[in-house]
Amino acid sequence: MELSKPLAYRMRPKSLEEFVGQEKIVGKDKILYRTIKADRLTSIILWGPPGCGKTSLAKVISETTKYKFTRLNAVTSGVPDIKKAIEEAKNPFLNPTGKCILFIDEIHRFNKLQQDALLPFVEDGTVILIGATTENPYFEVNKALISRSMIFKLEPLTDKDIFTILKSSLSREDGLASYNVKIEDETLMKIAQVSGGDVRTALNGLEVAVLTTPVNSEGYVEITNEIAADSVRSRKAIFDKNGDSHYDNISAFIKSMRGSDPDAAIFYLARALEGGEDPVFLARRIVIAASEDVGMANPQALVVATSAMQAVTMIGMPESRIILSEAATYVATSKKSNATYLAINRALEDVKTKDTGEIPMHIRNAPISGMEKQGYGVGYKYPHDYPNHVVEQQYLPDKMLGTKYYIKDENIE
């Protein structure tokens, strides 16, 4: 029965000694390692991408704690399930300790009401909460729960970590030992490399390869590079257009254009497109960068970016990838100036916080005959009547005279 379960499930560690990866969090001198070993855990939230070990850590805790361990999945559970877990934890016959460790997978899927239902019991110590989430908990989890929990950010597993787990699965009795698998280390490493840091993907791919390959004449299940490549089709894009990675990727895209690195800008553009990002949204970000970061150093960048946005709107994918690539490259390789960005921000701050005075009478509008008697428009000098179409006269209010908002920098001609 146990061997009928997926390999990724069977390979979950039962102790910290079996746990592979995340040394920064569960290394022997780290606080999470020490608290698990001492069974002195407080509420924690494990945050990281799929397949990085969040559920595996929870399983290790379930195997080592003296407290009642209850697992809920936020997708299928609700407030009644939470209340049932609390009642069982408080029942002295079922649970003499009077408290439980409650593991909630995908806790970000709980709504505010469901998360609020946990608060009093986390507060009084009845529940030691372990929340697992792929989303940024600071955005998705109740602030009151956040303040009562330690946040641990797990990183994608390294290729070496995944290789170690794959290698172990070949020799473990609850793994693939009974299949007599023959596979080169180089092939195992390739499976690890295309898994995108997700050990579940790697193990599932290896299992598919083994289960679909017949035994050869020598009695081995031989897994070649070709079979492995066919079983783990391609590296997953670590990008979710609706999640935290969306904001991280867009931030990196914008900052790469601002930082004049066209290669990085194209890379993050490709990640976004592969992840299903709206190409018009990407075009709008390029338009903003052209104005905010290039500005007067190369005003043509705004023309190029705006034209690209219009073209993307009309043409759509997949051809729009070329237009976006051209516009992003143009912005990234242009000289940079944020003088106009800083100028409008300074002006807005003054308008919001200062008494800026009155508009000078000579530049006010006088559309109706007789208003000039009140001084409207009187004394205005029409610049085109003067040499070079420029004439000295006051434009700012008296209270703002001498204020400089637009300050040219070295990149503006």
One-letter-per-residue 3-state SS of 274-297: HCCCCHHHHHHHHHHHHHHHHHHH
- Cβ pair 133, 107 in contact under 8 A: yes
221 phi/psi in degrees, rounded to 5: -95, 100
Please name which of 197, 89, 176 lies closest in space to residue 134, comparing C-alpha atoms. 197
Q: Count H helices, E strands: the chain?
A: 18, 7
pTM, two decimals, is 0.67
Express each pLDDT in 193-239 by its tens digit. Answer: 888 888 988 999 999 999 999 988 888 899 998 888 888 765 555 55
Q: At 243, is the pLDDT very low, low, confident or very high (cuts 50, 70, 90)? A: low
314 pLDDT higher than 90: yes
97 pLDDT higher than 70: yes
Architecture of the domain made up of 22-153: 3-Layer(aba) Sandwich (3.40)
Architecture of the domain made up of 159-231: Orthogonal Bundle (1.10)
Separation CA 316–CA 130 (nearest Å): 44
- Cβ pair 3, 174 in contact under 8 A: yes
Instruction: List all residues 6 or more positions away from 91 whose beta carbon is below 8 Å from its beta carbon.
Output: none
Express each pLDDT in 253-295 by its tens digit. Answer: 999 999 999 999 999 999 999 888 889 999 999 999 999 999 9
Separation CA 203–CA 197 (nearest Å): 12
For position 37, what pLDDT does the model report?
87
For position 207, what pLDDT does the model report?
92
The two tokens of residue 267 are 């890379």
For position 400, what pLDDT does the model report?
92
- Cβ pair 387, 399 in contact under 8 A: no
Boundaries of CATH 1.10.8.60 in the chain?
A: 159-231
SS3 102: strand
Boundaries of CATH 1.20.272.10 in the chain?
A: 244-333
Separation CA 228–CA 205 (nearest Å): 7
Mean pLDDT score across all residues of the chain: 89
349 pLDDT higher than 70: yes
Q: Does domain 244-333 have CATH number 1.20.272.10?
A: yes
Boundaries of CATH 3.40.50.300 in the chain?
A: 22-153
167 pLDDT higher than 90: yes
Largest CA distance in the chain: 108
